[in-house]
Copies of this chain bind each other. A is one copy, B any other.
């Protein structure tokens, strides 16, 4: 494999001249520059990433730290990952995907060894053990998900509170007065998945204000448990005319449940989910839903991260906590409740 020394020799110049000719960081006469470029081309020269990283203290790699819990819904993760890798590449960065179970060790390893210029953290827990490490790390970081303490961090998330309010308001406006909210399983909350209670508590609050009855329950993450649960809920709340779903597995399972019960959506039951358009297409879910925009979130986090990595000025800027506003998409599964 050709080194810059080989290129320099081939072009008949010194290594430094070759370097400057290729990087353009100093004026090099047009004639010499062309010779160097031709030599590089002829030798198929590509800079050695390790050597460059050592010299410039930049790796042009971002770390993406994800954690996969057995009981979580893996397909949804893919969209976040693609949002991150594609955006990173557009900005000239590659992505080191770390899925190690021990997130603290993983983060320490990639930052301490300087394998990455910055990191994106996913699956943020309310009291995430990785955050102290990140705050102490020399590289900047960006979170996708809201922790309890955002100090010293750039944070990006869907506005789950607003999502909860939006769901309730929309159905209240249509005339619904009794709703069911199916959240993620309880252990997701125990693990610190704050978005679950953020949406739920805001929805409950808004329901109270509007005089709407809202039954909020934890869901399940697997079949057949989640199907059983949905049936049970519809059994014990026969007066409920609307269903709010903050749980991918429950959304995916709902069509067969309504079908089996002979329920028409939206005539007999209005439904609003919270998931991505991609997810809706994959599972062919016909419900109105709050777009959770995983690709946009991943892209935002990376763009901010790269700005902080590259610009000395941005490095000093105050930290941001930015929420994507929830939007109600294709509202085809909600309607006024039928008079009883």
- Which residues of chain A have a CB within 8 Å of any CB of chain B? 1, 44, 46-54, 59, 61, 64, 68, 73-75, 77-79, 81-82, 85-86, 89, 94-100, 109-110, 112-115, 138, 222-224, 227, 249, 252-253, 255-256, 259-260, 278, 281-284
Contact = CB atoms under 8 A, between A and B. Distances in A.
Contacts of A115: 49-50, 61, 94
Given A1-B138, A89-B99, 20 more contacts: A46-B113, A49-B50, A49-B53, A49-B59, A50-B50, A50-B114, A61-B96, A61-B115, A68-B82, A74-B79, A81-B81, A81-B97, A82-B99, A85-B98, A94-B98, A253-B284, A256-B259, A259-B259, A259-B260, A283-B283
Given A75-B74, A81-B97, A113 B223 contact: no
Top 8 closest A-B pairs, CB basis?
A223-B284, A75-B75, A50-B53, A46-B112, A97-B97, A49-B113, A50-B54, A49-B115
Given A53-B50, A86-B99, A100-B89, A112 B1 contact: yes
A82 B99 CA distance: 7
Identical chains in the assembly = 2
Nearest to A64: B97
A51 B54 contact: yes
Contact of A96 (B47, B82, B94, B112): B94
B1 A278 contact: no
Of the candidates A79, A95, A224, the one having the most CB atoms from chain B within 10 angstroms of its own CB is A95
A2 to B, nearest CB: 10
Of A75, A79, A95, chain B has the most CB atoms within 10 Å of the CB of A75
Contacts of A224: 284
B113 A48 contact: yes
Given A49-B115, A50-B59, A282-B75, A94 B81 contact: no
B82 A78 contact: no
Given A75-B282, A77-B78, A278-B74, A44 B112 contact: yes
A292 B172 CA distance: 46
A50, A98, A253, A256: which has the most chain B beta carbons within 10 Å?
Answer: A50
A54 B51 CA distance: 6
Contacts of A223: 281, 284
Given A74-B75, A74-B82, A96 B96 contact: yes
8 contacts: A51-B54, A53-B53, A74-B78, A75-B282, A78-B78, A86-B99, A252-B283, A283-B283
